[in-house]
């Protein structure tokens, strides 16, 4: 949920998470191959695994979730689903991107399975990269809190 305020922190969306569930009550899962993106994420300190999953019925937004790759290990992840409105791509592509928390390594080409636990907020347009990075830092903190509890 977006809760804009007029304070200095106005760009950092307040975290009020909602459990992400499907109609059957199960956690939504997104599965696909990790493909190359624009590699912008690395330059801003938040590399992401772009997951090629032609379409997903999961709503656009930012989620806390678990990423499981080919080695079967689970990683905490901050997940973005949407068109990245900040960057006004001429042909907006809807992407599923997972930032694996406390991880660095090459994931390209593996099949990834991402289970979404909670929706943190909507996708939004930021006025610049600094604002985006501040929000991503808050998102990752929220994921640690939520997923730490969820184990
Ligand atoms: C947790 C998370 C939340 C994000 N939220 C937004 C958002 O609200 N608006 C937006 O334009 N992009 C958002 N993004 C996407 C970033 O803009 C994107 O990851 C970044 O541009 C790097 O993409 P690239 O490595 O594919 O180039 C988010 C990414 C992550 C990992």
pLDDT in tens, 78-134: 999 999 999 888 887 889 999 999 999 999 999 999 999 999 999 999 999 999 999
Q: Is residue 1 in a domain?
A: no
With respect to residue 3, please indicate whether it lies within any of the assigned structural domains.
no
- Could you tell me if residue 109 is inside a domain? yes
Ligand 1 center to 80 CA (angstroms): 6
Q: Is 2 domain-assigned?
A: no
Nearest CA to ligand 1 atom 30: 80
Taking only the tens place, the pLDDT of each residue in 16-57 is 456 676 776 667 899 999 998 878 888 899 999 999 876 778
Q: Would you say residue 73 lies in a domain?
A: yes
Q: Is residue 82 in a domain? A: yes
Domain count, the chain: 1
CATH assignment at residue 139:
2.40.30.30
Nearby residues of 79 by Cβ (< 8 Å), 6 or more positions away: 30, 62, 63, 64, 65, 67, 96, 97, 98, 99, 114, 116
**Domain presence at residue 40:** yes
User: Strand, helix or coil at 81?
Assistant: strand
Confidence bin at 11 (pLDDT 50/70/90) = very low
Q: Which of 136, 139, 142, 146 to mutate to test the pocket of ligand 1 (most atoms within 8 A of CB)?
A: 136
pLDDT digits 0-9 by tens, 64-75: 999 999 999 999
39 belongs to a structural domain: yes
What pTM was estimated for this model as a whole?
0.86
Binned at pLDDT 50, 70 and 90, residue 1 comes out as: very low
Between the CA of 29 and the centroid of ligand 1 the distance, in Å, is 19
The residue segments making up the domain with residue 104 are: 8-150
């Amino acid at each position: 949920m977006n809760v804009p305020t007029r304070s200095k922190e106005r760009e950092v969306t307040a975290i009020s998470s909602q459990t992400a569930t499907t109609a059957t009550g199960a956690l939504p899962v997104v599965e696909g191959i990790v493909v190359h993106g624009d590699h912008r994420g690395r330059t801003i300190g938040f590399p992401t695994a772009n997951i090629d999953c032609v379409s997903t019925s999961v709503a656009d937004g930012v989620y806390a979730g678990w990423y499981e790759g080919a080695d079967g290990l689970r990683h905490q992840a901050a997940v973005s689903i949407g068109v990245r409105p900040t960057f006004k791509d001429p042909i907006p592509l809807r992407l599923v991107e997972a930032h694996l928390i406390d991880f660095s390594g090459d994931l390209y080409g593996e099949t990834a399975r991402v289970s979404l636990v909670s929706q943190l907020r909507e996708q939004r347009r930021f006025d610049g990269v600094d604002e985006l990075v501040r929000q991503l830092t808050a998102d990752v903190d929220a994921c640690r809190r939520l997923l730490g509890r969820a184990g």
